Chain A
Amino acid sequence: MSTNQSRRDFFKTSATAAGGLVLGFGWFSSEAFEPGVLTKAAADTIDFNAYLAIAPSGIITIYSPNPEIGQGIKTAFPIIVAEELDADWSKVKVEQSPLDTKKFERQLTGGSGAIRHSWERLRKAGATARVMLMEAAAKKWSVPLSECSTSKGFVMHSSGKKLSYGELATDAAQITPPTTVKLKDKSNFTLIGTSVKGVDSKAILTGKNLFGIDYKREGMLNAMIQRPPAFGLKLKSFDATEAKKMPGITDVVSFGNKVAIVGKTTWEVMQARKAVKIEWEKEKDLESSADHDRIFKEMLNSTTATVHRKDGDIEAAFKNAYKVIEAEYQCPFLPHSPMEPMNFFAHFKGDSIEMAGPSQTPQNAQNQIAKMFNIAPEKVTIELTRMGGGFGRRLNTDYAVEAAELSSIIKAPVKVTWSREDDTAGGIYRPAVRYRFKASIDKAGNITGYMLHGAGMNAGNATRPDNFPVGAIENTLIQSNDHKSPITTGPWRAPITNFLAYAEQAFLDEVAMAGGKDPIQLRMELLEKAQKSPVGKLTYEPERFREVIKLAADKAGWGKKKKGVYQGFSVYFSHASYVAQIAEMANVKGKPVLKKVYAAVDCGIVINESSAQNQVYGAIVDGLGHAMYGNLTFKDGAPQQDNFNKYRLIRYNEVPDIEVHFVKNGIDPTGLGEPALPPTGGAIANAIFKTTGKRLYNQPFSEQGATLG
């Protein structure tokens, strides 16, 4: 990384700077927004390292490598660099880097891991350049470095002299970068922890061409692809005679069980698609939701489960129990439903290919496309567009790879766009899962044994074997079965825990009740046990867990609310962050009505307060909406919901009040794209139970009588 590279690698003049490329495509918002300033800056911008360049005009360009999906990374990364650089944020311009595996590691959006992974290297990138600027000034003034300091884009001397970063940029770039550099004391942060608006906001709000679906090139064709309408079917034959005669259509071709309709405009392609006659034939089992219900039960009753973790003697614990509590929880398949449907641009050129589009894993796409054409990865260039959501769907590369393949077949630049129906019914879902829990308690209500058996549809290991309460209980067994279904699955925001957290947290409520304990008291006792005498490997920090619980309980006034307010509690640790939530409901004519959700979050240092709040609100709304309504069902392999008229998403009038609090502990930051979602379903379900006495064992809750708003 930056601090280990030679000056030669650091110093690049405008000829090789990203500026030319950026302006060429008019692609990046911050560029497009003030072309006058940026044209000038780009013309003589000086790169200091992979992350930043400074122009003599004083404009600082910070390159943001990770794909922006709405998690705010394109703003958060530059904030960290600018903090250590002591830059004036009003002079900072942010550019999205294309995929560049030589400059950057982990150009990936997933697992809430970007900040955790890059925190230190971003700080070093800014701090290194800052030292170079200070050295350049010290040299110019012939003063010792120790007499120089920096503030808001200036190097200052104790005598009162000062020079701007712009004035120093050319000289500073000649300085050999230090191999080690001192980072700021966290108490001196002035930008980190404040509220900084999204760097693309102005471009978003004026309708600029930021997203993959907006991408256009000279001579580009548009395509849509008909994929098998049910999982388990394959292409038998097709007749495109009529379709090919339709206006604007240039080609209808088939590859890999698909038929692609290519033409000048999206609408013409959509019309011609209806005229293609396609026959499909059965290749694998055509599963229905009723089959899944049966298969779940078979898996949970089988003796072939894979054991993931075992502590103590679970059988003895159950045998000697004062009471045994058992329950099963089930969730359906879910599509991701990003507002921007899948799409990708590809231009195959024989020995190379240019790609552009929304991807959470551009490097995977690059590797797969390179392999498909038997060319070197660097022959596959990928521009990263802003993503209109993704929620894990764009961690799969299918839609980029098929665009590449189509371009190679038709030998033309083409953008493939999925319709909403394609996007919803075209596969790769959150897997459907069913869990069986069994716990034993002693006379005092303490848990003596805990078993979790997961059964998934292409879920892999549907459990998270080291997650709380494992580590706090003497006897545990965590195991799973998986069914290989033709229905395709993949990560969905907070994979596995997006449902497992609800099931575990609801079950813990059942156990607390059976043992006569308050739900928070039960968890606090378990965490105390995990801290004092952990059982086996412990992957979470009990003290941080307890802090978020205390904060949530304090803010929501747990147990102190007036009559008519019913509270449900949930807490979860995922993606290295801790989140506790308390849902409050009212009983309106026998119906539970959600009024408010409190959240307490420990993600370490908050980089951008406004963005962090936005993420937590959004994750709660997402968790609530999908717990209430999300349900993708199947008949003979075919999804039964394919657009928002049948597949319900939460709307404006259905969100409760939300109040978010962050633990301020100064610990290095972890992730926030996912961790606030898992606890929500449990908090809601536990509040519903308090309100109505009814325990909900299946999602979606709306199909079991729960309503919103």
Chain B
Amino acid sequence: MALFNLKINGKTYKADVDANTPLLWVLRDHLDLVGTKYGCGMAMCGACTVHVNGEATRSCVVPVSNVSNATITTVEGLSETGTHPVQEAWDEVDVPQCGYCQAGQMMTASALLAKNANPSDKEIEEAMVGNICRCGTYHRIHDAVKLAAAKMKK
């Protein structure tokens, strides 16, 4: 076990865990940040996506020791009340069905838009292809990414 001071959503969290513990399980089991979801445990579905130094990252395969000095953002850190343009767009487009994958979808989309304010359809596709939605809300995800981009330009 080792003590980690993690910079998450602008706060510092302490976690006394094995150094190999994936960031996902530190968030969920130790820090009560359960918005980040477990889906596959092998970076195949994107449900666990968070930002590590601004990069969309699959937290299920990142040992906590790798991110001890990083700036981490989870869905709870996009905004607590749903005012981030990506959250607003997801709400306006009424994207979710079951909703389980949507935190990961939004984290991938928000990382893309932070770097590329005006992504082409091809660039959106390249970013979003790693996130599975079993309910099949892909069309609305596409519309919501476009809407979020428009909101961020304002």
A residues adjacent to B (C-beta < 8 A): 69-72, 195, 197-198, 200-202, 204-211, 213-214, 216, 222, 247, 265-268, 337-341, 386-391, 417, 419-420, 610-611, 614-615, 617-622, 625, 643-645, 649-653, 655, 658
A419 / chain B contacts, CB cutoff of 8 Å: 41
Once the chains bind, are A339 and B100 in contact (CB under 8 Å)?
yes
Once the chains bind, are B33 and A207 in contact (CB under 8 Å)?
yes
Once the chains bind, are A649 and B22 in contact (CB under 8 Å)?
no
Q: How many residues from B make CB contacts under 8 Å with A?
A: 59
Once the chains bind, are A655 and B138 in contact (CB under 8 Å)?
yes
Q: How far is the CA of A180 from the CA of B128 in the complex (A)?
A: 53
Q: How far is the CA of A99 from the CA of B99 in the complex (A)?
A: 22
What are some 15 contacts across the A-B interface (CB < 8 A)?
A197-B94, A206-B80, A206-B82, A207-B34, A213-B34, A213-B37, A216-B32, A266-B38, A267-B17, A268-B18, A339-B47, A339-B133, A389-B135, A420-B40, A614-B97
Once the chains bind, are A649 and B129 in contact (CB under 8 Å)?
no
Interface majority SS (helix, strand, loop, mixed), chain A:
loop
Partner of A207, one of B25, B75, B132: B75
A265 to chain B, nearest CB (A): 4
Once the chains bind, are B1 and A247 in contact (CB under 8 Å)?
yes
1/0 per residue B27-61: CB within 8 Å of A? Answer: 01110111111111110110100000000000000
- Which 10 residue pairs spanning A and B have beta carbons closest together? A207-B35, A621-B136, A388-B100, A70-B98, A70-B97, A204-B99, A207-B75, A618-B136, A644-B44, A267-B25
A247 / chain B contacts, CB cutoff of 8 Å: 1, 18
A389 to chain B, nearest CB (A): 4
Once the chains bind, are B137 and A214 in contact (CB under 8 Å)?
no
Question: For residue A337, which residue of chain B has the nearest CB?
Answer: B134
Once the chains bind, are B98 and A619 in contact (CB under 8 Å)?
no
The answer to whether residues A389 and B91 also contact, given A617-B136, A644-B40 and a CB cut-off of 8 A, is no
Q: How far is the CA of A618 from the CA of B134 in the complex (A)?
A: 8
Once the chains bind, are B34 and A214 in contact (CB under 8 Å)?
yes
B41 / chain A contacts, CB cutoff of 8 Å: 419-420, 643
Once the chains bind, are A339 and B132 in contact (CB under 8 Å)?
yes
B38 / chain A contacts, CB cutoff of 8 Å: 213, 266, 341, 417
Q: Tell me, yes or no, whether B96 is within 8 Å of chain A by CB.
A: yes
1/0 per residue B93-105: CB within 8 Å of A? Answer: 0101111111100
Residues 69-128 of B at the A interface (beta carbon under 8 Å): 74-76, 78-82, 87, 90-91, 94, 96-103, 106, 125, 128
B residues adjacent to A (C-beta < 8 A): 1, 17-18, 21-22, 25, 28-30, 32-42, 44-45, 47, 74-76, 78-82, 87, 90-91, 94, 96-103, 106, 125, 128-129, 131-142
Once the chains bind, are B21 and A267 in contact (CB under 8 Å)?
yes
Once the chains bind, are A610 and B94 in contact (CB under 8 Å)?
yes
The answer to whether residues A340 and B98 also contact, given A650-B136, A652-B128 and a CB cut-off of 8 A, is yes
A224 to chain B, nearest CB (A): 12
Q: How far is the CA of A333 from the CA of B139 in the complex (A)?
A: 28
A208 / chain B contacts, CB cutoff of 8 Å: 35
Once the chains bind, are B91 and A265 in contact (CB under 8 Å)?
no
A69, A208, A267, A268 interface centre (most CB from chain B within 10 Å): A267
B37 / chain A contacts, CB cutoff of 8 Å: 211, 213, 339-340, 388
Question: For residue A657, which residue of chain B has the nearest CB?
Answer: B139
Q: How far is the CA of A416 from the CA of B34 in the complex (A)?
A: 16
The answer to whether residues A339 and B106 also contact, given A205-B87, A643-B40, A645-B42 and a CB cut-off of 8 A, is no
B110 to chain A, nearest CB (A): 11
Q: How far is the CA of A622 from the CA of B136 in the complex (A)?
A: 6
The answer to whether residues A618 and B135 also contact, given A205-B91, A267-B29, A644-B45 and a CB cut-off of 8 A, is yes
Once the chains bind, are A202 and B29 in contact (CB under 8 Å)?
no
Once the chains bind, are B97 and A265 in contact (CB under 8 Å)?
no
Once the chains bind, are B100 and A340 in contact (CB under 8 Å)?
yes
A210 / chain B contacts, CB cutoff of 8 Å: 99
A265 / chain B contacts, CB cutoff of 8 Å: 17, 25, 29-30
B135 / chain A contacts, CB cutoff of 8 Å: 70, 389, 618, 622
B21 / chain A contacts, CB cutoff of 8 Å: 267
B36 / chain A contacts, CB cutoff of 8 Å: 207
Once the chains bind, are B136 and A655 in contact (CB under 8 Å)?
yes
B72 to chain A, nearest CB (A): 14
Once the chains bind, are B132 and A644 in contact (CB under 8 Å)?
yes
Partner of A205, one of B82, B129, B131, B139: B82
Once the chains bind, are B138 and A386 in contact (CB under 8 Å)?
no
Q: How far is the CA of A614 from the CA of B137 in the complex (A)?
A: 7
Once the chains bind, are B32 and A207 in contact (CB under 8 Å)?
no
Q: How far is the CA of A337 from the CA of B1 in the complex (A)?
A: 34
Apart from the given pairs A265-B17, A620-B136, A653-B125, 14 other A-B contacts in the complex at a CB distance below 8 Å? A70-B96, A197-B91, A213-B34, A222-B29, A337-B134, A339-B39, A339-B45, A339-B47, A387-B98, A388-B98, A389-B98, A643-B40, A649-B132, A655-B136
Q: How far is the CA of A208 from the CA of B96 in the complex (A)?
A: 14
A386 / chain B contacts, CB cutoff of 8 Å: 98-99
Once the chains bind, are A206 and B136 in contact (CB under 8 Å)?
no
Partner of B97, one of A195, A207, A615, A651: A615
B132 / chain A contacts, CB cutoff of 8 Å: 339, 644, 649, 651
Once the chains bind, are B75 and A206 in contact (CB under 8 Å)?
yes
A391 / chain B contacts, CB cutoff of 8 Å: 134
A157 to chain B, nearest CB (A): 37
Once the chains bind, are B101 and A339 in contact (CB under 8 Å)?
yes
Q: How far is the CA of A449 from the CA of B52 in the complex (A)?
A: 64
A387 to chain B, nearest CB (A): 6
Q: How far is the CA of A679 from the CA of B135 in the complex (A)?
A: 17
Once the chains bind, are A619 and B39 in contact (CB under 8 Å)?
no
A71 / chain B contacts, CB cutoff of 8 Å: 97
Q: How far is the CA of A206 from the CA of B91 in the complex (A)?
A: 11
B151 to chain A, nearest CB (A): 14
Question: For residue A387, which residue of chain B has the nearest CB?
Answer: B98
Once the chains bind, are B99 and A70 in contact (CB under 8 Å)?
yes
